[in-house]
Structures are given as structure tokens and as C-alpha cells.
Chains A and B, each alone.
Chain A
Amino acid sequence: MDKEQIYAVVKKYILENLEDLQDSDIDPQKSMKDYGANSLDIIEVVSCSMRELKIKIPRSELADIKTIDELADKFLANMSAEANQ
């Protein structure tokens, strides 16, 4: 799976969980908080995405992530590391 596909999964759950948001509104360089997400919304988006991508990253490793793009990068790195094991 490449980063575009991972980003598509994350975006799907952002659209599902946040209010009044269109596909074209989402800029990966922004944070979910910029679109009105609170901490519980973010947990839901991240949990659903990880479930679909079949990965599990501890919450502490996600704490410093600032943007949607960085989240997709983190998921990609985790999937690549898993694949190489």
C-alpha cells in the first residue's frame, strides 16, 4: 500500500467523523483540529484508520504528530517496518 492509499483511508474517516466537511476541503498539511476535531474525534479517526490498515501504534508514538500528512507518514513507516520483518 502506498501513501496515497493510506491518505485515502484517513480521509475517509475524517469525512465520516467531522461535521460539514467536503473531500475538497481537506488539506493534508493541516491538523484535524483545524477542521474542528476534538481529542475524541481524533482518537476515533486514528483508531478506525489503524483498524482498516491492520496496524497498531501506541498512542504515545502519535502524540507529537501535527498534520494529517504526518499521520499518513507514520502509518506508512509502520506498515513498511511490519512488511520488512
Chain B
Amino acid sequence: MKDIVKIEVLNNGIAHLRMQDEEHKNTFSDDFVDAVIAGLDKLENEHNPKVCILSGLPDVFSGGADKQNLMDLCDGKIHVKDLLISERIVNTPFPIIAAMEGHAVGGGLIMAVCSDMVVAARESRYGVVFMNMGFTPGIGCTELLANLVGPFIANEMMYTGKCYKGKELAEKGIQINYIVPKAEVPAKAENIALQISEKSVKSISLLKHALSAKKKQQLITARVQEDFMHRLSFGFPETRKTIEEHYGK
């Protein structure tokens, strides 16, 4: 069986973290969350890269929430693990480029939002579907999504739960760095990484620290308000039924 996460570090300081849980489509199971965090820990502690490209499977960057974790929340078990990925990405000392060839849904899209640069595919779909399942957005979404798509598009994405094609988002003129044909996503991300790799690793780290300060603050705010909303919305009797329906029994 393949590892959930594969790490590769090149001599020029470019790291690549590939999320490759084909069986579960990179959804946020406990194992997945642990593997991504361990991967970033390993990069930081053992390799000190200049930049990291974060990518997923060709069809799915990340599918977001795992059904079991959502049911645990319905049962009143506190589960804040998903926010750990957001925090880990924001707290790396090196910039992260999210290279999203495939779809990114819910927490999957928030991983990109927490990254420093984002490359998306015109053909793939991106959205936050929390409200489709009856509960309020989490994982920092309420604070951070607006950074990527602007506050009003973020509102529309959160309220409607619609998954937009990359080309629709491109037409909306949002902040994603590049929205290119799917086949061009890896090369575009590698090109950005190559430019960064020419810079001083110490200055890169300083800049990352400064530029991520706002996101760190946003995550703290998000944790408070999203946890509060989750305590209420996962307790609504209809939420469990809607989640069951969404995933299929």
C-alpha cells in the first residue's frame, strides 16, 4: 500500500509533498491529518527547504471532511484535528505553493487558502460544501476564504455550497495566482518554486514569518467562532440526517 503522503526534496531546496490517499480521495481521516502534519514536520526539521509544492491526486487535490469525523461531531465528541492542518501550513518557515490539479472541496480548499500561492485547474471544481451538509463552515474557512476569492465571492461559496469550475472562478477575477489547464498545473507550480529557490533561505523564512502573521491571527479568531457555531449546528437534529444523505449510507 502506498503511503498517504510522499515527500521529495531536490538539491535546489524545492520540496514536494504529495497527498496520495487514492482509496479515500485525500479526505481528512485521522490518518490523513496525521500524515500531512508529520510530512510537514519532517520537511521542516530534517530538510529545511526553501519552498514546498503541495499537490494531490490528478483528479482530487483533497476531498475535505471525512464522514466518521463529522458523525463524531454530531455525537458531541470534540474534534478539532482538521484545524491542525491549517495551522501547520500557516506555521511552516517556508512558503507553500498549492498545486491543485484536481478538485478541492471543503477543508481541501482551505489547505490551499492557508498556503502562500495557489495554482488551480480550469477544468477542476473548487468549493466549500459545509452548508450542504447542514452545518456551518470550519477549518478557518469563515476567516480565510475571503483572502483567496474576496469577501463577497467567499460569502456566495459558503452560503450556496456550490463547487465552481476553475474557469468560472477565473471569470470572477479572484486572487488565485494562476488558473490554467489541468495539464499545466504542475509545471506552473514548479516554475514559481524555481524562482523562489534562487533566493536566500534565511530571507525566505523571515518573509514567510511576516506574511503569515495575519493568517495566524485569522485562524485564532476562526477557531473561536467556528467552534461555537459547530457546537450549535452539529447539534441540530437534521444535521446528522443531512450528512448521512450527503455521503450515502
Query: Which residues of A line the B interface, CB within 8 A?
Result: 17, 19, 38, 40-41, 43-44, 58-60, 63
Contact = CB atoms under 8 A, between A and B. Distances in A.
Given A19-B123, A38-B59, A38-B103, A44 B246 contact: no
Given A38-B59, A40-B105, A58 B245 contact: yes
In this complex, the interface size class of chain B, counting residues with CB under 8 Å from chain A, is: 10 to 19
A63 B162 contact: no
Contacts of B105: 40
A19 B249 CA distance: 31
A17 B165 CA distance: 8
A44 B162 contact: yes
Interface in B154-192: 162-163, 165
Contacts of A19: 123
Given A38-B125, A44-B162, 11 more contacts: A19-B123, A38-B59, A40-B105, A40-B125, A40-B127, A43-B163, A44-B125, A58-B245, A59-B246, A60-B245, A60-B248
A44 B249 CA distance: 21
A40 B248 contact: no
B249 A40 contact: no
A63 B245 CA distance: 11
B248 A63 contact: yes
Contact of A41 (B125, B246, B248): B125
B163 A44 contact: yes
